[in-house]
Amino acid sequence: MLRTILITLLGPMLWGSTYAVFTETLPVDHPLLVGAMRALPAGLILLMLNPRIPPLEALKRHAVLGFCNIGLFFALLFIAAARMPGGLAATLGAIQPLVVILASGWLIGRAPHPVQILAGIAGVLGVGLLVLSPDAHPDPIGVAAAIGGTLSMAAGTVLIDRWGRRGTPLETTTWQLILGGAMLLPVALLVEGLPPSPGLRETLGYSWLMLLGTAFAYFVWIRGIGRLGPSAVYLALASPVVATAIGAIGLGEWFSPWQWAGMALVIGATAVGVSVGRRG
């Protein structure tokens, strides 16, 4: 089981690079198109590894998951990243474990353990200590997008636990990315139009997001949820830790005592949330 946890953890760790890659290499004035270009090509690449079209009933489930986890989530994620600092977006996103654990009790009748709720609160506090800065100014649209994206992916995470075992992790990942990206692409083109032709920097940025940050990261994440259950969502707290570390390295800085305390809270919340969930 430890091996499954460590492999699943690779997904959120790779997601931690998303904000830096987006803001430094990709067109921030085209957040919807970046989301579509992150998802659809990644899904088509995975389809080459498993060139099979699922039955219609399975495609309907994949479409719902693709809308929650990919189409809507990617759109809101990049809108939030384009409008406010990544630290604030990460703190708002850290409520996801709490939302997933509470939603699991409602959607699939799995009542949360009180310790899991406390771990979720500790995770939010830890991420806040780790990434928030006094000069962070909330943008109302960015805040709404970050919270909306968190709720969307939380719903998709619960539904993966409910439906994901009916297909292989590769199939579930592939068709979520294809269908979610296909939903987002026409909206992006209609709202934003085409961006300038990508240069080398943009090509490298898209390649990183598509191959490692999406195709591989979502495969190990969906595989992990299928094996660990909704409690795997606590592993997503690793994403803001990595994002903060990347920012610190880029600025040549080191963590403050408050940030170390926040990291300790995040690690503790992750360990407790996953372990209690497995025992439950």
Measured CA to CA, the distance from residue 90 to residue 16 in angstroms comes to 9
Buried b (16+ CB within 10 A) or exposed e, 77-90: bbbbbbbbbbbbbb
Q: How many domains does the chain have?
A: 1
Range of the domain at 81: 2-279
Q: In 3-state terms, what secondary structure has residue 188?
A: helix
Buried b (16+ CB within 10 A) or exposed e, 15-47: bbbbbbbbeebbbeebbbbbbbbbbbbbbebbb
Nearest residue to 182 (alpha-carbon basis) of 19, 47, 14: 47
Q: Tokens 């979502």 belong to which residue?
A: 218
> Which tokens belong to 99?
């939302």
Question: CB-based burial of residue 190 (10 Å sphere; 0-12 exposed, 13-18 middle, 19+ buried)?
Answer: exposed
**Per-residue pLDDT at 13:** 92
Which whole-number Å values give the CA distances from 162 to 63, 95, 180, 218, 219, in the listed order?
Answer: 15, 21, 19, 17, 17
Cα diameter, the chain: 54
> Which tokens belong to 178?
């294809």
**Per-residue pLDDT at 86:** 63
Measured CA to CA, the distance from residue 7 to residue 121 in angstroms comes to 25
**Per-residue pLDDT at 233:** 87
DSSP 176: H
Buried b (16+ CB within 10 A) or exposed e, 194-233: eeeeeeeebeebbebbbebbbbbbbbbbbbbbbbbbbbbb
Range with the poorest average pLDDT among 58-62, 92-96, 129-133, 173-177: 129-133
**Mean pLDDT, rounded, for 8-21:** 91
Helix, strand, coil shares of the chain, percent, nearest 5, are: 85, 0, 15
Measured CA to CA, the distance from residue 177 to residue 122 in angstroms comes to 32
Measured CA to CA, the distance from residue 160 to residue 158 in angstroms comes to 5
Q: Is the pTM of this model over 0.85?
A: yes
Please write the tens of the pLDDT for every residue from 170-209. 999 999 999 999 999 999 999 999 888 889 999 999 999 9
Please write the tens of the pLDDT for every residue from 73-114. 999 999 998 887 766 676 777 788 888 877 776 666 666 778
DSSP string, 120-141: HHHHHHHHHHHH--TT----HH
**Per-residue pLDDT at 179:** 97
Measured CA to CA, the distance from residue 174 to residue 151 in angstroms comes to 22
Segments in 164-256 forming alpha helices (H) = 169-192, 200-207, 217-228, 238-251
